[in-house]
């Protein structure tokens, strides 16, 4: 056992000597420096460039938020992080060079910030008493321009403090786009001064469906309400900009409109009063295609575009049921006047009017891939969620696309098959599948592939009632996606990523981020024999140990030690409980297999 423990210490020593490559996402290029700098020797930070003052101050804010001592802002000959603006650097590109006892970070403004985020990780990934030495020079830059994460605040509302923390999480992983889903059937969350009922009525839901009790419907009798004032939004947009995160707001149309129509039913087809929807799924309520509705939405977008400086405005466009349009005289008249063959073309006509208006304001629309149906608006970009086909079609038509296929990028799906996982919407998207994703479909040629801006992870909040649940579902899958989008083909592989992630958890812990520990889970091969089930357990990492019981007690380090590749015979009516340990600490959930008498 002593020899085994010594091996672990040796492994850690070697690993931390290469600490500059523990970042997530993985740095593209590194070369060994002649200089070696102990990370705990860095005491000062300085720049003589006014444009980098915000980056410096924001970097120190990250330390304060992590309950760590920030660096002293002072010009010093040694032990200093020096920030240098390179106006010839590409956007988001940076260099880190070790010179004497100093660390120089050079790049564009955003590049210097990302270099600082690498440094922040190095300075917070170490456990107590570990001596970390920087030894590599770094040259780093992203593969994709759109590196995003989405959050639905309609099904459940999250306070401004958490929205800022969410932006911090994006920024420390070099993600640059926050897609803020602000309106839906279940709630309207943005103040629009011209239409105050949108928040006075549309932001309040009397209850939500209880778990998955759709038929018969059972409600939880718990009201949900909340919205963001325009002053709060301005503050959050400024906060995000300091972290080089662009916020893309989403205002859903023509479907997912029931909360808006609860406030202003005159913009529906039947004009009948309704309430903010309490169920999940797709409501039949939809904006009418008449001119008055289009003007209402233009008015809304005027205020939205004033608040958000982003180039793109997300207009939804997904899951728009057409039954109301089929019965609506105004919609049918629109189809006849404009020579539209069907309701899909009517939706395209609807979106085209919004596209023209947003374009006239110097911005562009992006919508879910259903906006392709009936014809794609002239300047629209597509967010492909129903697989990759929508993104492929957009790229072939020379329209920009962002990939967000459910099978790889929906982080409200289960990340573990264990029955102990919290209730989720459905699906199964494990972290290794996220890490394996390539946003560029093989069917695209190089000229078409350039229209793929990148990808993003999506978090729909039907079953995410509090912020800790959002964090748990997002991380560490977002860490994997960040490496896909930043490092691209240069990423070193899942096993390498998984090892780095163990040390990255120290940073997340210091930032009080609640994450899934799914990478520590035990896996197993099993087959049935005459003696019972034959089980072979697979440890997630070589340096740990598995202990197990067959008497229904929880495993401890005093339980039976599992020898790698050995077979455990599980007789009938027996339960195997196993757990993975490192340094005498339980890391995994308890893994359970039962051999019940049939």
- Active site positions, annotated: 184, 256, 319
Rounded distance between C-alpha atoms, residue 350 and residue 271, angstroms: 19
Q: What tokens were used for 309?
A: 């400086």
**CA max distance for the chain:** 84
Rounded distance between C-alpha atoms, residue 25 and residue 40, angstroms: 22
Closest to 371 in 3D by CA, of 357, 388, 350, 387: 350
Residues 6+ apart with CB under 8 A from 495: none
Q: What tokens were used for 488?
A: 């691209």
**Which secondary-structure segment (H or E) carries 346?**
helix 343-360
CB 555 within 8 A of CB 519: no
Which residues are 219's β-sheet partners? 209
Q: What tokens were used for 443?
A: 């069917």
Q: What is the DSSP letter of 370?
A: G
Residues 6+ apart with CB under 8 A from 207: 219, 220, 221, 222, 223, 224, 278
Q: What tokens were used for 416?
A: 């573990």
Which residues are 147's β-sheet partners? 455
Residue 462 CA: distances (Å) to CA of 166, 207, 215, 411, 515: 18, 12, 17, 12, 19
Rounded distance between C-alpha atoms, residue 36 and residue 42, angstroms: 12
Rounded distance between C-alpha atoms, residue 477 and residue 471, angstroms: 10
Length of the chain, in residues: 598
Residues 6+ apart with CB under 8 A from 499: 15, 541
Q: Is the peptide bond before 216 cis (omega within 30 degrees of 0)?
A: yes
Residue 437 CA: distances (Å) to CA of 142, 387, 430, 441: 16, 12, 11, 10
Rounded distance between C-alpha atoms, residue 513 and residue 491, angstroms: 24
Residue 276 CA: distances (Å) to CA of 459, 509, 516: 21, 38, 33
Backbone angles phi, psi at 542, to 5 degrees: -70, -30
Helical axes 494-510 vs 109-124, angle rounded to 10°? 80
Q: What tokens were used for 440?
A: 């560029």
Residues 6+ apart with CB under 8 A from 571: 531, 532, 595
Residue 25 CA: distances (Å) to CA of 65, 475, 487: 21, 13, 7
Rounded distance between C-alpha atoms, residue 108 and residue 114, angstroms: 10
CB 319 within 8 A of CB 370: yes
CA torsion through residues 107, 111, 113, 116, sign: negative
Task: Kindly report the number of other CB atoms within 10 A of residue 72's CB atom.
Answer: 13
Rounded distance between C-alpha atoms, residue 380 and residue 370, angstroms: 12
């Amino acid at each position: 056992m002593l020899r085994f423990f010594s091996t672990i210490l040796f492994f850690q020593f070697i690993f931390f000597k290469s600490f500059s490559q523990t970042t997530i996402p993985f740095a593209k290029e590194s070369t060994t420096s002649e200089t070696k700098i102990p990370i705990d020797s860095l005491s000062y930070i300085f720049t003589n460039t006014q444009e980098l003052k915000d980056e410096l101050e924001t970097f120190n804010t990250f330390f304060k938020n992590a309950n760590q001592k920030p660096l002293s802002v002072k010009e010093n000959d040694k032990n200093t992080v020096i920030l240098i603006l390179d106006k010839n650097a590409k956007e988001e590109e940076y260099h880190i060079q070790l010179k004497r006892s100093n660390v120089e970070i050079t790049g564009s403004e955003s590049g210097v910030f990302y270099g600082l985020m690498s440094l922040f990780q190095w300075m917070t990934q170490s456990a107590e008493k570990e001596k970390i030495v920087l030894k590599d020079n770094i040259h780093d830059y992203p593969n994709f321009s759109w590196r995003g994460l989405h959050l639905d605040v309609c099904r459940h509302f999250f306070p401004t403090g958490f929205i800022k923390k969410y932006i911090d999480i994006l920024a420390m992983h070099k993600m640059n786009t926050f897609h803020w889903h602000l309106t839906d059937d279940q709630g309207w969350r943005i103040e629009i001064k011209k239409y105050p009922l949108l928040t006075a009525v549309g932001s309040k839901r009397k209850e939500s469906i209880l778990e998955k009790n759709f038929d018969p419907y059972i409600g939880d009798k718990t009201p949900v309400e909340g919205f963001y004032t325009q002053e709060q939004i301005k503050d959050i947009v400024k906060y995000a900009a300091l972290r080089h995160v662009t916020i893309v707001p989403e205002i859903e149309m023509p479907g997912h409109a029931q909360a808006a129509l609860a406030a202003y039913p005159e913009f529906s087809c039947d004009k009948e009063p309704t309430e903010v929807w309490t169920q999940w799924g797709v409501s039949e309520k939809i904006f009418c295609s008449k001119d008055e509705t289009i003007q209402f939405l233009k008015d809304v977008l005027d205020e939205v575009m004033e608040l958000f400086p982003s180039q793109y405005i997300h207009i939804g466009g997904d899951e728009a049921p057409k039954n109301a349009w089929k019965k609506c005289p105004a919609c049918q008249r629109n189809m006849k006047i404009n020579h539209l063959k069907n309701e899909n073309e009517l939706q395209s006509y609807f979106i085209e009017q919004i596209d023209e208006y947003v374009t006239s304001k110097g911005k562009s629309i992006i919508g879910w891939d259903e906006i392709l149906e009936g014809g794609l608006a002239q300047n629209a970009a597509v967010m492909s969620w129903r697989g990759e086909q929508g993104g492929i079609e957009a790229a072939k038509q020379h329209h920009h696309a962002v990939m967000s296929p459910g099978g790889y990028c929906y982080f409200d799906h289960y990340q573990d098959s264990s029955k102990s996982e919290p209730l989720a919407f459905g699906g199964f998207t494990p972290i290794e599948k996220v890490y394996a994703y390539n946003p560029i479909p093989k069917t695209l040629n190089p000229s078409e592939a350039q229209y793929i801006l990148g990808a993003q992870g999506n978090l729909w909040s039907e079953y995410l009632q509090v912020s800790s649940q959002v964090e748990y579902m997002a991380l560490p899958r977002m860490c994997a996606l960040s490496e896909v989008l930043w490092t691209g083909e240069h990423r070193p592989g899942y096993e390498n990523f998984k090892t780095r992630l163990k040390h990255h958890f120290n940073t997340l812990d210091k930032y009080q981020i609640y994450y899934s520990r799914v990478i520590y889970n035990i896996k197993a091969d099993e087959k049935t024999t005459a003696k019972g089930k034959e089980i072979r357990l697979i440890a997630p990492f070589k340096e740990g140990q598995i202990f197990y019981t067959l008497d229904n007690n929880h495993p401890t380090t005093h339980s039976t030690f599992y020898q790698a590749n050995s077979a455990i015979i599980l007789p009938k009516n027996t339960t195997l409980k196993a757990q993975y340990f490192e340094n005498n600490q339980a890391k995994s959930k308890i893994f359970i297999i039962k051999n019940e008498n049939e």
